[in-house]
């Protein structure tokens, strides 16, 4: 029987569930809760209205932190990538801040914004800003010279050159960078919610651990985090396939 390629990973995961349950039955209390217990935990969260509430809270923070980082980092990165003197001036500062983990900013975030959404959004922003900045700079560096020369030969003004040459040429690499950085944002929000807020999927995991060692809810939260991360990545992959964003790959 010919199984569709997209269905095979799902079938593989389904096939692993009995193995997981058997391993739990053979060694109770020594490994993770079984899939039946985890499914029960998800149902419990749904019944109490907590799952939807926490998912929305996490997505809200990711949306704001990721969007603000993209709106600031991409234009700045394109500008610095195009004007090499500006890049040389700012590069030492970028290289100092870039290796700092966004989680290292947690004390500063709490000091500046207190415990709440703003602190988590700030941490997500810091986790996304520099990867997007470097992606935009690299995208400009990789624009083929023939595109630049063609735009100049046609006498395009600065605005026309940006809209008709620069942005289309860098868009495929920017989309790839956005996809990777969105995964970073999703990682950071979970870590931030474990410390700086009292809602969201990260908070769910910590709260379940502290409230009577509810590891079924802990793993349920982990499963939900993984599924949403998969859906976010799938959404960005779908954007990559849109023709208007594949201008460079359609050459020739």
Q: Residue 136: enclosing H or E segment and its boundaries?
A: helix 117-141
**What tens digit of pLDDT does each residue of 128-184 get?**
999 999 999 998 888 777 777 777 777 767 677 777 777 778 888 888 899 999 999
Q: Where are the domains of the chain?
A: 48-250
Q: Which fold has domain 48-250?
A: MetI-like fold (1.10.3720)
**What tens digit of pLDDT does each residue of 12-29 get?**
788 888 887 787 777 766
The predicted model scores a pTM of 0.84
The answer for 212, left when phi > 0, alpha when psi is -120 to 50, beta otherwise, is left
- At residue 54, the pLDDT reads 93
Q: Are 239 and 171 in contact (CB under 8 A)?
A: no
d(CA 204, CA 189): 12
Mention every residue, 6+ apart, whose C-beta is less than 8 A from residue 41. Answer: 33, 214, 216, 217, 219, 220
């Amino acid at each position: 029987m010919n199984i569709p390629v997209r269905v095979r990973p799902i079938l593989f995961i389904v096939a692993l569930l009995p193995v997981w349950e058997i391993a739990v039955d053979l060694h109770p209390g020594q490994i993770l809760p079984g899939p039946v217990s985890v499914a029960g935990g998800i149902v419990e969260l749904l019944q109490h209205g907590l799952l939807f509430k926490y998912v929305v809270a996490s997505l809200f923070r990711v949306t704001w932190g990721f969007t603000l980082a993209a709106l600031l980092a991409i234009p700045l990165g394109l500008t610095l990538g195009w004007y090499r003197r500006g890049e040389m001036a700012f590069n030492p500062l970028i290289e100092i801040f870039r290796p700092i983990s966004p989680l290292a900013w947690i004390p500063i975030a709490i000091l500046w914004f207190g415990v709440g959404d703003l602190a988590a959004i700030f941490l997500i922003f810091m986790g996304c800003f520099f990867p997007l900045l470097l992606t935009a700079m690299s995208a400009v560096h990789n624009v083929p010279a023939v595109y630049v020369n063609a735009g100049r030969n046609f006498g395009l003004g600065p605005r026309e050159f940006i809209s008709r040459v620069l942005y289309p040429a860098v868009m495929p690499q920017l989309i790839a960078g956005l996809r990777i950085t969105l995964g970073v944002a999703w990682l950071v929000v979970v870590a931030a919610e474990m410390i700086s807020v009292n809602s969201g999927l990260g908070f769910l995991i910590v709260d379940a651990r502290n409230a009577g060692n509810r590891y079924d809810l802990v793993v349920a939260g982990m499963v939900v985090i993984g599924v949403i991360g998969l859906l976010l990545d799938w959404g960005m992959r779908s954007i990559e396939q849109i023709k208007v964003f594949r201008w460079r790959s359609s050459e020739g």
